[in-house]
Structure 1
Amino acid sequence: MRESTQTVPLALHGGPKTVQSEFAWPIFDEREVNTVAELVRTGQWGNPDCAGLVAEFEAQFAAYCGTKYAISCVNGSVSLRLALMACGVRPGDEVIVPPYTFIATASTVLEVNCVPVFVDLDPDTYNLDPAHIEAAITDRTRAIIPVHFAGLPCDMDAILAIAQRYNLRVIEDAAHAHGAEYRGRKLGSIGDLGSFSFQSSKNLTSGEGGMVITNDDALYRTVESLRNVGRLPEGQWYDHFNPGCNYRISPLQAGLLIEQLKRLDDQTRQRHENGLYLDSLLGAIDGIRPMSRGDAPLVHARHLYMFRYDNRVFGNLPKAEFVQMLAAEGVPCSGGYPHPLYKQPLFQNRNWMCYAIPDSVDYTDVHCPVAERACSDEGIWIFQHALLGSRTDMDAFAEAIRKIQQAVNR
Structure 2
Amino acid sequence: MEKQVFKEILAIDGGEKTVQSTFPWPIYDESDVQAVAEVVGSGKWGNPDCSDYVAAFEREFAAYCGTKYAVTCVNGSVSLRLALMACGVRPGDEVIVPPYTFIATASTVLEVNCVPVFVDIDPATYNLDPNAIEAAITDRTKAIIPVHFAGLACDMDAIMDIARRHNLRVIEDAAHAHGAEYKGRKLGSIGDAGSFSFQSSKNLTSGEGGIVVTNDEKLYRMMASLRNVGRMEGHQWYDHFNPGCNYRITQMQAVLLSQQLQRLEDQTVLRNNNGRYLSELLSGIDGLSPLSGRMEEIRHCYHLYIFKYDAAAFGGLSRQEFVARLAAEGVPCSTGYPHPLYKQPVFQNKNFMCYAIPDSVDYTTVFCPVSERACREEAVWIFQHAMLGSQDDMQAFAEAIRKIQRVVTQG
Shift of 1:298: 1.1
Alignment of 1:158-237 (within 5 A): 158-237=158-237
Alignment of 1:32-71 (within 5 A): 32-71=32-71
TM-score of the two chains, using structure 2 as the length reference? 0.97
> What letter corresponds to residue 401 of structure 2 in structure 1?
I
Residue in 2 aligned with 1:278? 278
Alignment of 1:336-375 (within 5 A): 336-351=336-351, 353-375=353-375
Residue in 2 aligned with 1:407? 407
> What letter corresponds to residue 359 of structure 2 in structure 1?
D
Quick one: distance in 2 between partners of 1:352 and 1:75? 21
Shifted more, 6-15 versus 177-186: the winner is: 6-15
Quick one: distance in 1 between partners of 2:53 and 2:384? 28
Residue in 1 aligned with 2:120? 120
Quick one: distance in 2 between partners of 1:295 and 1:333? 23
Is contact 1:150-1:304 (8 Å) kept?
A: yes
Residue in 2 aligned with 1:109? 109
Shift of 1:295: 5.8
Is contact 2:346-2:352 (8 Å) kept?
A: no
Q: Could you say what secondary structure the match of 2:27 adopts? A: coil
Matched, 1:76 2:87: no
Q: Could you say what secondary structure the match of 1:281 adopts? A: helix
Matched, 1:267 2:283: no
Shift of 1:97: 0.2
Quick one: distance in 2 between partners of 1:295 and 1:7? 40
Quick one: distance in 1 between partners of 2:95 and 2:352? 20
Is contact 1:228-1:244 (8 Å) kept?
A: yes
Residue in 1 aligned with 2:138? 138
Shift of 1:357: 2.4
Shift of 1:318: 1.1
Is contact 1:178-1:187 (8 Å) kept?
A: yes
Shift of 1:233: 1.2
Quick one: distance in 1 between partners of 2:93 and 2:25? 40
Is contact 1:182-1:296 (8 Å) kept?
A: no
Q: Deviations over 1:99-143 (max 9, x none)?
A: 000000000000000000000000000000000000000010000
Identity %: 73
> What letter corresponds to residue 245 of structure 1 in structure 2?
C
Shift of 1:96: 0.2
Q: Could you say what secondary structure the match of 1:49 adopts? A: coil
Q: Deviations over 1:315-365 (max 9, x none)?
A: 111111111110010000000000000000010011262543211111010
Is contact 2:110-2:352 (8 Å) kept?
A: no
Residue in 2 aligned with 1:387? 387
Q: Could you say what secondary structure the match of 1:150 adopts? A: helix
Quick one: distance in 2 between partners of 1:357 and 1:40? 45
Matched, 1:30 2:30: yes
> What letter corresponds to residue 285 of structure 1 in structure 2?
I
TM-score of the two chains, using structure 1 as the length reference? 0.98
Structure 2 residue runs of 5 or longer lacking an equivalent are none
Is contact 1:73-1:227 (8 Å) kept?
A: yes
Q: Deviations over 1:63-86 (max 9, x none)?
A: 000100000000000000000000
Is contact 1:23-1:386 (8 Å) kept?
A: yes
Shifted more, 352-361 versus 304-313: the winner is: 352-361
Quick one: distance in 1 between partners of 2:402 and 2:204? 32
Alignment of 1:140-155 (within 5 A): 140-155=140-155
Alignment of 1:240-251 (within 5 A): 240-251=240-251
Quick one: distance in 1 between partners of 2:290 and 2:80? 29
1:61/1:315 CA distance change after superposition, 3 Å? same
Quick one: distance in 2 between partners of 1:296 and 1:105? 28
> What letter corresponds to residue 39 of structure 1 in structure 2?
V
Is contact 1:230-1:245 (8 Å) kept?
A: yes
Quick one: distance in 2 between partners of 1:310 and 1:284? 14
Dislocated runs of 4+, deviation >4 Å: none
Is contact 1:180-1:187 (8 Å) kept?
A: yes
Q: Could you say what secondary structure the match of 2:72 adopts? A: strand
Q: Could you say what secondary structure the match of 2:24 adopts? A: coil
Quick one: distance in 2 between partners of 1:122 and 1:350? 27
Residue in 2 aligned with 1:321? 321
Residue in 2 aligned with 1:256? 256
> What letter corresponds to residue 396 of structure 2 in structure 1?
A
Between the two proteins, the alignment pairs up a number of residues equal to 406
Quick one: distance in 2 between partners of 1:148 and 1:175? 8
Quick one: distance in 2 between partners of 1:6 and 1:168? 63
Residue in 1 aligned with 2:18? 18
Structure 1 residue runs of 5 or longer lacking an equivalent are none
Q: Could you say what secondary structure the match of 2:353 adopts? A: helix
Q: Could you say what secondary structure the match of 1:409 adopts? A: helix
Quick one: distance in 1 between partners of 2:50 and 2:257? 15
Shift of 1:8: 2.2
Is contact 1:110-1:356 (8 Å) kept?
A: no
1:115/1:378 CA distance change after superposition, 3 Å? same
Shifted more, 286-295 versus 114-123: the winner is: 286-295
> What letter corresponds to residue 181 of structure 1 in structure 2?
E
Is contact 1:99-1:341 (8 Å) kept?
A: yes
Shift of 1:293: 2.9
Residue in 2 aligned with 1:87? 87
1:6/1:149 CA distance change after superposition, 3 Å? farther
